[in-house]
């Protein structure tokens, strides 16, 4: 479904990722782990078109997308939940979801279908639809950020640190929710996280990014058992 080939990308003169290659097949739940500053967010931003690579290719479902604008990449079937949730605090829950469903603005039936799907996945958002997003709890805002992304009915969901700022109990609930979402819908997911142990427990395959380069790749179980991963990321 997704193939990244020898991508170099960054910010101005700063190269944040170097020669990164990875692939994700349809229906997979894949992890991208690494420490702060490793380049994980840059990889996601490059996929979703927020950053254009200086070298390399990004292909989605056989089509090259690294030259497309972000809204065209969204229309192609990729949705990005950014780090820190980035909800619109002064807008209501319903208005935030409407922003996520902008691609259906000329198709009211598909918009309603997407909205009903999100409310069925997150009943609490339906209960709080008129509430300002900025007054929601951290966990509820993360639900809203994911719901907003799901409004586009993506085939590939990119998640950047969804556990950030959540209480430990809510972190576990978030991982359980993502596992159910993947299992029940078959949605392909690329998850960026610093919580390596939990991430490798819930995903199928993983990549380890260090200093902007992919250093390890394999099954999540294999990475959990890797001495280097255990030493650096799992506290062994």
Q: Is 207 exposed, middle or buried (0-12, 13-18, 19+ CB in 10 A)?
A: buried
Residues 6+ apart with CB under 8 A from 140: 124, 125, 128
Domain membership of residue 118 (yes or no) is yes
Chain segment 9-38, per-residue pLDDT in tens: 999 889 999 999 999 999 999 999 988 888
Domain membership of residue 67 (yes or no) is yes
0.85 exceeded by the pTM?
yes
Which of 119, 153, 187 represents a domain boundary (last residue)?
A: 153
Domain span at residue 94?
88-153
- Cα–Cα distance for residue pair 199/65, rounded to 1 Å: 27
Which of 128, 153, 178 represents a domain boundary (last residue)?
A: 153
Q: Distance from CA of residue 201 to its chain's centroid?
A: 17
| Number of structural domains in the chain | 2
Element housing 3 (H / E): strand 2-11
Say if CB 158 and CB 78 are below 8 A apart: yes
Q: Are residues 98 and 61 in the same domain?
A: no
Average pLDDT across the chain, whole number: 92
**Residue scoring higher pLDDT (191 or 37):** 191
Domain membership of residue 45 (yes or no) is yes
* DSSP labels, 147-181: HHHHTT--SEEEEE-TTTT--HHHHHHHHHHHHHH
Domain membership of residue 82 (yes or no) is no
- Cα–Cα distance for residue pair 117/166, rounded to 1 Å: 24
Domain membership of residue 36 (yes or no) is yes
Say if CB 162 and CB 174 are below 8 A apart: yes
Q: Are residues 131 and 107 in the same domain?
A: yes
Chain segment 43-89, per-residue pLDDT in tens: 999 999 999 999 999 999 999 999 899 999 999 999 999 987 789 99
Q: Which of 57-66, 92-101, 137-146, 206-215 has the lowest mean pLDDT?
A: 137-146
φ and ψ at 224, to 5 degrees?
Answer: -60, -35
Q: Are residues 28 and 47 in the same domain?
A: yes
Chain segment 147-176, per-residue pLDDT in tens: 999 999 999 999 998 888 788 888 888 899
Token pair in block for residue 3: 């193939």
State whether the Cα torsion 164-121-50-220 is positive or negative: positive
């Amino acid at each position: 479904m997704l193939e990244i080939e020898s991508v170099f990308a960054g910010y101005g003169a700063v190269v944040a990722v170097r020669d990164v290659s990875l692939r994700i097949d349809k229906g997979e739940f894949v992890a991208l782990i690494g420490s702060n500053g490793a380049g994980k967010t840059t990889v996601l931003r490059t996929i979703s078109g927020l950053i254009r690579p200086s070298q390399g290719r990004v292909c989605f479902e056989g089509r090259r997308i690294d030259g497309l604008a972000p809204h065209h990449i969204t229309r192609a079937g990729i949705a990005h939940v950014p780090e820190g949730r980035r909800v619109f605090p002064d807008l209501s829950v319903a208005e935030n979801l409407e922003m996520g469903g902008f691609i259906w603005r000329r198709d009211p039936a598909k918009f309603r279908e997407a909205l009903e799907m999100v409310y069925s996945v997150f009943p609490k958002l339906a209960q709080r639809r008129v509430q300002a997003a900025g007054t929601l709890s951290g966990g509820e805002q993360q639900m809203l950020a994911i719901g907003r992304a799901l409004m586009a009915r993506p085939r590939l969901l990119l998640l950047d640190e969804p556990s950030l700022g959540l209480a430990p109990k809510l972190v576990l609930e978030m991982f359980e929710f993502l596992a159910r979402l993947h299992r029940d819908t078959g949605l392909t997911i690329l998850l960026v996280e610093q919580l390596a142990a939990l991430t490798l427990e819930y995903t199928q395959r993983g990549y380890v990014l260090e200093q902007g380069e992919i250093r390890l790749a394999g099954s999540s179980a294999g990475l959990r058992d890797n001495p280097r991963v255990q030493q650096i990321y799992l506290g062994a």
